[in-house]
Structure 1
Amino acid sequence: MRSPESLDSMKRRIRVAQGEAPADLVFVNGRVACTFTGELLEAPVTVAEGRVCSLATAPAGSKQVVDLDGAILAPAFTDAHIHVESSLLTPEGFAEAVVPHGTGATVSDPHEIANVLGTAGYDYMRRASSGLPMDIFWTVPSCVPATHMETAGASLGARDVAEGLDRNPEAPALSEMMNFPGVLFGVEEVLEKVRASALRGKPVDGHSPGLTGAALDAYAGSGILTDHECLTAAEALEKLRRGMWVFLREGSAARNLRDLLPAVAPGAATRICIVSDDRHPEDLLREGHLDGTLRKAVSWGLDPMAALRAVTLNPATVYGFGDRGGVAPGYLADLVVLRDLRSFEVREVYHRGRKVAEGGSLLKPLERRPAGEALATVRLPPDLRSLLGGFPESGEVRVIGVEPNQIVTRSEKGLAQDAGGGRGMQFAAVVERHRGTGHVGLGYVRGFDLRAGALASTVSHDSHNLVIVGTSPDEMARAAGAVEAMGGGLAAVQDGELLAALPLQVAGLMSLGTAAQAAAALEALHGAARSLGCSLPAPFMTLSFLALPVIPSLKLTDRGLVDVDRFQIVPLRLP
Structure 2
Amino acid sequence: MAITLEDLIRIARGEDEADLVLKNARVVNVFSGDIHVTNVAIASTRIAGLGDYRGKVEIDLDGAYVCPGFIDGHVHIESSMLRVPEFARAVLPHGTTSVVIDPHEIANVLGFDGIRYMLESSKRNPFSVYVMVPSCVPATDMETSGARILPSDLALLLKENWVQGVGEMMNYPGVLFREPSVMAKVRAAAGKRIDGHAPGLSGRDLMAYIAAGVGSDHECTRVEEAKEKLRMGMYIMIREGSTARNLRDLLPLVTPATARRCMFVTDDRHPLELLEEGHLDSIIRTAIASGLDPIIAIQMATLNPAEYFGLLDRGGIRPGWRADLVVFDNFMDFRILKVLRGGQIVAERGRFVGSLSPHNPAIVRSSMNVHPPSISFAVPARGNRIRVIGLVPGQIVTQQLIMEPKTDGEFVVSDTERDVLKIAVVERHQATGNVGLGFVHGFGLKRGALASSVAHDSHNIILVGTSDDDM
Answering whether residue 168 of structure 2 is matched by residue 176 of structure 1, we say: yes
Q: TM-score, normalised by structure 1?
A: 0.78
Partner SS state of residue 73, structure 2: strand
1:422 is aligned, of 416, 425, 434, to 416
Are the equivalent residues in 2 in contact too, given 1:392–1:416 (CA < 8 A)?
no
Q: How far did residue 374 of structure 1 move? A: 3.2
Query: Which residue number corresponds to residue 406 of structure 1?
Result: 395
Residues 32 and 222 (structure 1), Cα distance of their counterparts in 2 relative to 1, 3 Å cut? same
User: What does residue 343 of structure 2 align with?
Assistant: 353
Distance 2:61 2:232 in 1: 43
Answer yes or no: is 1:393 the counterpart of 2:398: no
What residue in structure 1 maps to residue 222 of structure 2?
232
Q: Counterpart amino acid of 2:39?
A: P
Matched, 1:217 2:207: yes
3-state SS, counterpart of residue 451 of structure 1: coil
2:179 corresponds to which of 187, 190, 209: 187
Distance 1:112 1:368, change over 3 A: farther
- For the residues of structure 1 that align with 2:169 and 2:346, how far apart are their CA atoms? 35
1:130 corresponds to which of 123, 134, 158: 123
What does residue range 364-513 of structure 1 map to in structure 2 within 5 Å?
A: 364=354, 366=356, 370=360, 372-374=362-364, 376-385=366-375, 387-389=376-378, 391-395=379-383, 396-418=385-407, 419-423=413-417, 424-476=419-471
CA change 1:364–1:263 in 2 (3 A) is closer
Structure 2 Cα separation of the partners of residues 401 and 57 of structure 1: 61
| More strand per residue | 2
CA distance in 2, matches of 1:442, 1:295: 41
Separation of aligned partners in 2, 1:363 and 1:170: 25
Instruction: Please tell me the residue identity of whatever aligns with 2:141.
Output: H
Once residues 9 and 279 of structure 1 are traced to their aligned partners in structure 2, the CA distance between those partners, rounded to angstroms, is 39
Equivalent pair of 1:18/1:57 in contact (CA under 8 Å)? no
Residue 371 of structure 1, CA deviation: 6.1
The AA in structure 2 aligned to 1:191 is: M
1:313-346 deviations in whole A, cap 9, x for unaligned? 0000100011110011111001110112333211
TM-aligned CA deviation for residue 368 of structure 1: 6.4
Distance (whole Å) between structure 2 residues aligned to residue 278 and residue 85 of structure 1: 9
Asked whether 1:27 is paired with 2:48, we answer no
* 1:109 aligned onto 2:109: no
Query: 1:383 deviation in Å?
Result: 2.1
**Do the aligned partners of residues 53 and 371 (structure 1) sit closer, same or farther apart at CA in structure 2, a change above 3 Å counting?**
closer
Task: Measure, in 2, the Cα distance between the counterparts of 1:361 and 1:384.
Answer: 49
Q: In the alignment, residue 30 of structure 1 is paired with which amino acid?
A: A
Q: Which residue, 49, 52, 72 being the options, matches 2:47?
A: 52
How far residue 375 of structure 1 moved from its aligned partner, in angstroms, is: 5.7
Number of the residue aligned with 1:94: 87
Which segment drifts farther, 43-52 or 338-347? 338-347
The aligned residue for residue 140 of structure 1 is 133
Q: Percent identity, aligned pairs only?
A: 47
Q: 2 CA distance for matches of 1:276 and 1:454?
A: 28
> Cα offset for 1:421?
4.7
> Which residue of 2 is the match for residue 513 of structure 1?
none
Q: Equivalents in 2 of 1:26, 1:305: separation in Å?
A: 23
Report the alpha carbon displacement of residue 247 of structure 1 after superposing the two structures with TM. Answer: 0.7
CA distance in 1, matches of 2:66, 2:311: 20
Cα deviation 1:18-51 (Å, max 9, x = unaligned): 1122211111111111111111122221111200
Contact kept? 1:9, 1:49, Cα under 8 Å: no
Instruction: Please state how far the C-alpha of 1:446 moved relative to its aligned partner.
Output: 1.1
Q: Is this contact kept in 2: 1:294–1:308, CA < 8 A?
A: yes
C-alpha offsets along residues 178-219 of structure 1, whole Å, 9 cap, x if unaligned?
11111112212112211211x1x3110000111111111111
Give the aligned residue type for 1:459. Answer: V
SS, match of residue 156 in structure 2: helix
What letter is aligned with 2:381? E
Tell me by how many angstroms 1:471 deviates: 1.7
Deviations 1:476-513 (A, max 9, x none): 1xxxxxxxxxxxxxxxxxxxxxxxxxxxxxxxxxxxxx
**Displacement over 6 Å in runs of 4+:** none
Gaps of 5+ in 2: 408-412
Letter paired with 1:16: I
Q: Matched residue of 1:176: which SS?
A: strand
Instruction: Give the CA deviation at 1:475.
Output: 1.4
Distance 1:369 1:52 in 2: 29
The gaps in structure 1 that reach 5 residues or longer are: 477-575
What secondary structure, in the 3-state scheme, does the structure 2 residue paired with 1:116 have? helix
The total of aligned residue pairs comes to 464
Aligned letter for 1:183? V
Partner of 2:193: 203
Letter in 1 for 2:185: K
Q: How many angstroms apart in 1 are the aligned matches of 2:365 and 2:154?
A: 24
Is 1:150 the counterpart of 2:149? The answer is no
TM-superposition CA deviations, 1:509-536 (whole Å, max 9, x none):
xxxxxxxxxxxxxxxxxxxxxxxxxxxx
Q: What amino acid does structure 1 have at the position aligned with 2:138?
A: P
- Decide whether the 8 Å contact of 1:432 with 1:440 is kept in 2: yes
Which letter does structure 2 place at the counterpart of 1:43?
T
**Per-residue deviation, 1:113:** 0.6
C-alpha spacing 1:372/1:379, structure 2 compared with 1 (3 Å): farther
8 Å CA contact 2:423–2:462 kept in 1: the answer is: yes
Asked whether the equivalents of residues 129 and 162 of structure 2 are also in contact (C-alpha less than 8 Å), the reply is no
* Higher helix proportion (structure 1 or 2): 1
2:73 is matched with which residue? 80
Q: Distance in 2 between matches of 1:452 and 1:36?
A: 55
Q: Give the TM-score, by structure 2 length.
A: 0.95
Q: Is contact 2:125–2:357 with CA below 8 Å preserved after alignment?
A: no
Q: 1:372 to 1:321 in 2, by over 3 A?
A: closer
RMSD value over aligned CA atoms?
Answer: 1.7
Residue identity in the other structure for 2:51? A
Q: CA deviation at 1:451?
A: 2.3
User: Does the CA-based 8 Å contact 1:394-1:415 persist in structure 2?
Assistant: no
Does the Cα contact within 8 Å between 2:345 and 2:354 map onto a contact in 1? no
